[in-house]
């Protein structure tokens, strides 16, 4: 209890004030007078002491094999390597699991950024691979990579990403395929765009091979044709109504 603690507290040999303990290491404890700096009293106690250290979750670093500990940063919680000189990190996902180990970024100096004077790196993130400016975060430009761009560095890809280099390079209409990530199914797939809009064509990696259903593109084409026809019909109806209105106005005295 509190009374017992006050009786057992170490007292300064000079002024008899209570002393504050500080653990130096596993064999030494420093006691400093509570009246410091007015009193210079101190004592060093020797013995066996237990250092209070990190007792949270740990991981083995996939880069150097050292211990990774849970930390908190500006973007939330993450695991950081404790080894000196290793800056490897792994994000803590919303489900409480650590993000999969990230592959090393691949420089692509021949692939220039679109908005800044920089080149791209092919990076690995929690949402799959993506292109990012080499000077990120100073240059914050990112975009989805095309399959042909990934295929050009196939020999440098991490084994877990090599299947992406074998994806279809384009859809049946010749539109270049790009790599995307589905948060719903938590997988990477390829799709195409036309004038900045999705064509509806997609390809997925199933059973060790890529499958690209043709029906999606056909359905999208049918929808576009129906939409154009409906717009044309509406436009024609408006013109007819306008002519009738003009004719009626001309007949009136």
Domain boundaries, the chain: 2-46, 58-91, 106-217
Q: Measured between alpha carbons, how far is 133 from 121 in angstroms, rounded to an integer? A: 6
pLDDT tens track, the chain, 253 positions: 455 555 568 889 999 888 888 888 778 889 999 888 889 999 999 988 776 667 788 999 999 999 999 988 888 889 999 998 998 999 888 888 898 888 999 999 999 999 999 999 999 988 899 999 999 889 999 999 999 999 999 999 999 999 999 999 999 999 999 999 998 998 999 999 999 999 999 999 999 999 987 644 454 555 566 566 666 777 776 666 666 666 555 555 5
Q: Are 135 and 147 in contact (CB under 8 A)?
A: no
The domain defined by 106-217 carries CATH number 2.20.25.10:
yes
Task: Classify the phi-psi angles of 38: left when phi > 0, otherwise alpha if psi is within -120 to 50, otherwise beta.
Answer: alpha
Q: Report residue 236 as tokens.
A: 């024609």
Q: Measured between alpha carbons, how far is 29 from 141 in angstroms, rounded to an integer? A: 53
């Amino acid at each position: 209890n509190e009374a017992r603690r006050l009786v057992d507290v170490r007292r300064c040999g000079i002024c008899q004030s209570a002393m504050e303990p500080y653990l130096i290491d596993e064999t030494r404890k420093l006691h400093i007078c509570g009246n410091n700096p007015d009193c210079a009293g101190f004592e060093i106690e020797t013995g066996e002491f237990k250092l209070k250290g990190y007792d949270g979750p740990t991981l083995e670093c996939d880069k150097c094999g050292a211990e990774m500990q849970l930390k908190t940063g500006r973007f939330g919680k993450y695991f950081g390597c404790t080894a000196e000189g290793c800056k490897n990190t792994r994000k803590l996902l919303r489900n409480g699991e650590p993000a999969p180990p990230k592959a090393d970024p691949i420089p692509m100096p021949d692939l220039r950024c679109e908005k800044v004077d920089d080149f791209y790196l092919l990076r690995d993130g929690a949402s799959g691979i993506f292109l990012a400016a080499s000077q990120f975060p100073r240059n914050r430009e990112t975009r989805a990579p095309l399959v042909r761009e990934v295929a050009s560095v196939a020999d440098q890809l991490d084994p877990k990403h090599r299947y992406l280099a074998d994806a279809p390079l384009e859809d049946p209409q010749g539109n270049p395929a790009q790599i995307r990530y589905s948060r719903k199914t938590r997988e990477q797939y390829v799709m195409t765009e036309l004038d900045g809009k999705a064509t509806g064509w997609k390809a997925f990696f199933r059973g060790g091979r890529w499958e690209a259903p043709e029906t999606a593109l056909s359905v999208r084409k049918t929808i576009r044709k129906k939409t154009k026809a409906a717009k044309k019909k509406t436009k024609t109806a408006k013109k007819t109504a306008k002519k009738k209105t003009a004719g009626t106005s001309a007949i009136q005295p």
